[in-house]
């Protein structure tokens, strides 16, 4: 873990959505920067987002976490897909100004990762070298289906799926063949026993922290390979 302090930043999304805030964690020895979007029910300051950013900083990876407009306004209902994907693109634009020559990646937790991929499917994300999904939400809980992953075929970037084997939002019987169809650009890393947020059962021999370390180490190695 790293004790690098997070710096608050703000950037404009569009005229209708206005501006949103972000948290930049930039280690002095940063080799890469990843733009991270939060999940549907919790913002950029959620414990999961904090821990991921801290662990990445410990590996010399800078992070820019940011709020979607609805979360900035403290409302529960997510914005439209168009506003969410516009926010992804605006965050990446802000990150590019910060990153300088640092290789740039993007992704996020659950909905945030999916919105990043939807933005990439609509049009290339300027400067981004790959996408990382910390729990891709392939379907609603109890309603298995793979339609939410159809747009991934439109993306030419390398894709890393970090998934728990107990993830109620991504049946591996559906996600594995989807990744195979995407070919060599897609890699699936499964945490045996982890749920959608990589929480482990009390009976597991690995703690949540150990598992999160393994998830971050996989992400770091993958980014270095694709930088």
The residues spanned by each domain of the chain are 6-226
What are the DSSP calls for 3-61, one per residue? -PPEEEEEEEEETTTEEEEEEEE--TT--EEEEEE--SSS-TTSHHHHHHHHHHHTTTE
Below-70 pLDDT ranges, the chain: 1-2
Q: What angle do CA 204, 208, 211 make, to 5 degrees?
A: 90
Please state, in angstroms and rounded to a whole number, the distance separating the CA atoms of residues 217 and 170: 22
Residue 3's pLDDT is 75
Residue 50's pLDDT is 97
Hey, what CATH class is 6-226 in?
A: alpha beta
156: closest CA among 208, 195, 121, 113? 121
Residue 1's pLDDT is 62
What are the DSSP calls for 109-173, one per residue? ETHHHHHHHHHHHHS--TTEEEEEEES---S-TT---SGGGGGGGG--S-EEEEEETT-TT--HH
Please state, in angstroms and rounded to a whole number, the distance separating the CA atoms of residues 140 and 221: 30
Whole-prediction pTM: 0.97
């Amino acid at each position: 873990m790293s004790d690098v302090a997070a710096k608050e930043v703000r950037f404009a999304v569009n005229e209708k959505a206005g501006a949103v805030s972000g948290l930049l964690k930039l280690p002095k020895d940063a080799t890469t920067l990843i733009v991270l979007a939060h999940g549907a029910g919790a913002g950029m300051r959620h414990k999961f987002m904090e821990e991921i950013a801290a662990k990445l900083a410990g590996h010399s990876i800078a992070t820019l976490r940011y709020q979607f407009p609805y979360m900035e306004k403290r409302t529960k209902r997510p914005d439209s897909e168009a506003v969410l994907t516009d926010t992804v693109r605006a965050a990446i634009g802000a990150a590019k100004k910060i990153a300088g020559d640092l290789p740039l990646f993007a992704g996020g937790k659950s909905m945030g990762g999916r919105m990043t991929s939807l933005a990439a499917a609509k049009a290339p994300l300027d400067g981004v070298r790959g996408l990382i999904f910390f729990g891709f939400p392939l379907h609603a809980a109890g309603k298995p289906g793979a339609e939410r992953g159809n747009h991934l075929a439109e993306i030419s970037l390398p894709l890393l799926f970090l998934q728990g084997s107990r993830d109620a939002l991504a049946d591996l019987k559906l996600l594995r063949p989807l990744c195979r169809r995407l070919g060599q650009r897609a890699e699936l890393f499964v945490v045996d026993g982890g749920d959608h947020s990589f929480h482990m059962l009390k009976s597991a021999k690995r703690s949540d922290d150990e598992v999160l370390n393994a998830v971050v180490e996989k992400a770091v190695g993958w980014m270095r390979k694709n930088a």
